[in-house]
Chain A
Amino acid sequence: MMPRHGVSLVLGAAALLLGLVSLSTGVAPLPMGEAVAGIFEREPGPAALILRELRLPRALLALLVGATLGLSGAVLQGLMRNPLAEPGVTGISGMAALGAVLAFYFGLANVLPYAVPLGGIAGAFLGAWLLYRLGGPAGDVQTLILAGVAISSFAAAATAMALNLAPNPYAVIEIVFWLLGSVADRSLRDVALALPPIVVGVAVLATTARALDALSLGADVARSLGHDLAATRRRVIVGTALSVGAAVSVAGSIGFVGLVVPHLLRPLVGAEPGRLLLPSALGGAVLLTLADIVTRLLPPDRELKLGVMTALIGAPFFLVLALRQGRLAA
């Protein structure tokens, strides 16, 4: 086992490095010197424009969204004491997409600039709350997963219906974005919309670390150590809603990041949920940025959605974990 800070340092460096690789990956070969030099100019040249207006938001969003998903996965697994919990599988991301879709396509965004992230946050909040009601700490692994299946199926169906009924006919084909997610061709506007709620949500989630550690010893122990578990739960729900809701509202719902990352890191940093939070956030940023770089290796008209990449990695992972859980339970 590596010291925790060692793992975080390595992951942080990797995230930074991949962010730079992401900035230098794209269809147009970019003279980097010229691009960087022109970035603060009033009338930037093409290279600087591409770097500032297209690649920078893309790299930032991959890092931010990945960190959000990794962290919220680790927190949900800790709170629910369930290794299969994560925003995608449990339907929280799906509900966030539904909320964002309702706010976006039906004209609310014209009235209120923050409508789309707020819609995402409201949807994620509802999803997290429902999940906790249906399959919370008292429930077993199966109950949680079945609740997640129900919530995500509902969210996907309602999203499809909303897009079918949306005033703009293009909405129907955009379902792929909301169900599978992408950070391609987003703008700095999207970063500005998503960043504040993500920062606040991540900060709220970070405050739960010690309570989650205590909770891993059992609810009674946690209470006897002075942790208010109801308050912890509220903070997890609010923090997840803010960060995941805002992330999904600009990048669509991207599954399995929150599942895979904490599991890969647990052998390195130990089983206490609290120790896992920072590395999971950094690991999520690394994984999603890497996935986004790989999507760009295909020709641009064939570019994969991010959720395809993460599901190709995550779904087999999920299966193995579910089978292992079943064996332990039996």
Chain B
Amino acid sequence: MAEIGKTTEVQRHGGVVILLLSLCLCASVVNPSFAKPQRIISLNLCTDQLVLLLAEPERIASVTWMARDPAISLMVDQAMSVPINYGRAEEVLRAQPDLVLAGRYTYAPTLAVLKRLNVTVTLFDLPNSIADVRAQIATAAALLDEPERGAALIADIDRRIARAGADVPAQRQVLGLRAPGGGTAGAGTLAHEVLLAAGYDNLADRLGISGFAALPLERLVMAMPDRLVAETAYGGLASLTTGMANHPVLDHVGRRIRLPSRLMMCAGPGIAAAAEHLADARR
């Protein structure tokens, strides 16, 4: 009896998967790429924010649960008005999306299984410059079929960054940036460009660091920057990472700028806000 029950269950599940598969295939057939996508899924916090900025909530099937976390998301309120996902392949299948956006570092097995099930996923890279940010917004706007909104967003970011760097002093202050894991960002990174745009010199660059690299506390102390950014998201919650951002030695290293780390997490309007925040701190 039990054996028979099991078999039925397996068959039923198999049937569901095949049904879903065929639905997905249909979806891609009946929805040619030039139509405005109506069931958009985002699997990455940064694409969440682009989707929430550029598309109407009715067209969004879901964004990730992270978009509702005020410690890391800039668009908590908007994310409250759309469904959320936990980045699982079955959530994607169930929603029968016509556009799926994810990050280059979205959980690889999930991306692989989606590919095997013929779901097209558009991957967004980590932006390494303000130009990359512009390009990503333009790409997302094209995919979402919202080119005007995309252009307006880019123009707004450009205008705010230009204003943040309008009064750069001849003698720039050196700013040390220390990420939660003890790393820093040198030349060739978005953070580096934002620091320069806001009127600072990047300590990492002065130390000859390009790209992302470790910045041991000892090197940071030895270099003695004028200003220091060493925030962690979730600063109020206990963790060793949080503790490291509050190591007593940092009280002696540069005047601290409390830059909410959610501003620097993704490409988008966050970087304009970050540049404004940094520029205000030096005025």
Contact = CB atoms under 8 A, between A and B. Distances in A.
B1 interface: no
Contact of A28 (B182, B221, B238, B249): B221
A12 interface: no
Contacts of A47: 222
B217 interface: yes
Contacts of A299: 214
Contacts of A104: 238
A301 B222 contact: no
Given A44-B252, A49-B252, A168-B234, A26 B242 contact: no
Nearest to B247: A187
Given A50-B222, A170-B232, A107 B214 contact: no
A105 B252 CA distance: 27
A113 interface: no
Q: Which size bracket describes the interface of B in this complex?
A: 20 to 34
Contact of B237 (A27, A54, A167, A300): A167
Interface in B219-254: 219, 221-224, 232, 234, 237-242, 244, 247-249, 252-253
A171 B239 contact: yes
Nearest to A53: B249
Interface string B199-232: 0000000000000011011110111100000001
Contacts of B238: 104-107, 109-110, 166-168
Contacts of B248: 53, 187-189
Nearest to A186: B247
A54 B237 CA distance: 23
Nearest to A300: B216
Interface in A193-221: none
A209 to B, nearest CB: 37
Contact of A185 (B217, B223, B253): B217
Interface string B5-25: 000000000000000000000
A53 B248 CA distance: 7
Contacts of B218: 26-28, 50, 54-55
A46 interface: yes
Nearest to A115: B238
Nearest to A167: B237
Contacts of A171: 239
Contacts of B57: none
B156 to A, nearest CB: 30
Nearest to B246: A187
Contacts of A300: 214, 216
A129 B230 CA distance: 42
A186 to B, nearest CB: 9
A174 interface: yes
B6 to A, nearest CB: 30
Contacts of B239: 105, 166, 168, 170-171, 174
A180 to B, nearest CB: 13
Interface string A204-248: 000000000000000000000000000000000000000000000
A177 interface: yes
B221 A50 contact: yes
B180 interface: yes
A169 interface: yes
A47 B252 CA distance: 12
Contact of B241 (A44, A54, A174): A174
A54 B213 CA distance: 20
Contacts of A106: 238
Contacts of A44: 252
A54 B221 contact: yes
A182 to B, nearest CB: 9
Contacts of A167: 234, 237-238
Given A170-B180, A170-B234, A189-B248, A177 B221 contact: no
Given A27-B218, A50-B221, A104-B238, A187 B232 contact: no
A104 B242 CA distance: 12
A26 B222 CA distance: 12
A252 B240 CA distance: 11
Given A168-B242, A187-B249, A300-B216, A46 B237 contact: no
Contacts of B242: 168, 170
Interface of B: 180, 182-183, 213-214, 216-219, 221-224, 232, 234, 237-242, 244, 247-249, 252-253
Given A168-B242, A185-B244, 8 more contacts: A54-B221, A55-B218, A104-B238, A166-B238, A168-B238, A169-B234, A170-B239, A301-B214
23 contacts: A26-B216, A28-B216, A28-B218, A44-B252, A49-B221, A49-B253, A50-B218, A50-B221, A50-B249, A53-B248, A53-B252, A54-B221, A106-B238, A166-B237, A167-B237, A168-B237, A168-B239, A170-B180, A170-B239, A170-B240, A170-B241, A185-B247, A187-B248
Closest 7 pairs between A and B when the two form their complex, measured CB to CB: A301-B214, A168-B237, A53-B249, A168-B239, A170-B241, A28-B218, A28-B222
Interface of A: 26-28, 43-44, 46-47, 49-50, 53-55, 104-107, 109-110, 166-171, 174, 177, 185, 187-189, 299-301
